[in-house]
Structure 1
Amino acid sequence: MTESPCSRIDPEVMFPHPSDVSGIEFAKQQVCGACHVRAECLEWALNQFSRSDYGIFGGLTEDERKELVKSRQLGKAERLNYGSFPPKNKRLTAAA
């Protein structure tokens, strides 16, 4: 997905407010409509381990994807557990 059209634009374009009809249509038609990895993007967004609850992925809004999840009977998303955070004195500091 690093070669997709959405990877070269402001990320906020792909996460329009649900009431922003023109923003949603722009993302779906102008960005996703010309994308060569649209199908892969949608499958990634529907995958139970990487399921995205927000934004436009594969040309579909979050509500459209929820309907697709139901119709495909994909079940609930599985959130991966990477374990607990280490104690503050054992954490790495952020690079500058």
Structure 2
Amino acid sequence: MSIAKLDKAIIIEEKTLTNRRDEYYKLLGEIVDEDDLEKLVYTSLHHIAFIDYLLGTEVKENKRLESVINQINKKRSTSYTLSDFHIKL
């Protein structure tokens, strides 16, 4: 991970963020059927939403995240929505 500190600012490269986000999507694909990993699923979804926020993507416009949430809802009988992962600062 490339991190640089410039006068009280931290810069993280976009490629690093997108790679990390892709790893979270991969992780979700691997653990979606595991019943005892509910917290990890929820946390991973939040991490994805936060990374997309850092990259400037609005959660409500994130079709990839929406698709994954729909798959998780079907497989786990949950009722997550995109608004559950909306980040407002």
Whose helix fraction is larger, Structure 1's or Structure 2's? 2
Q: TM-score, normalised by structure 2?
A: 0.32
Whose strand fraction is larger, Structure 1's or Structure 2's? 2
Higher CA-based Rg: 1
Q: TM-score, normalised by structure 1?
A: 0.31
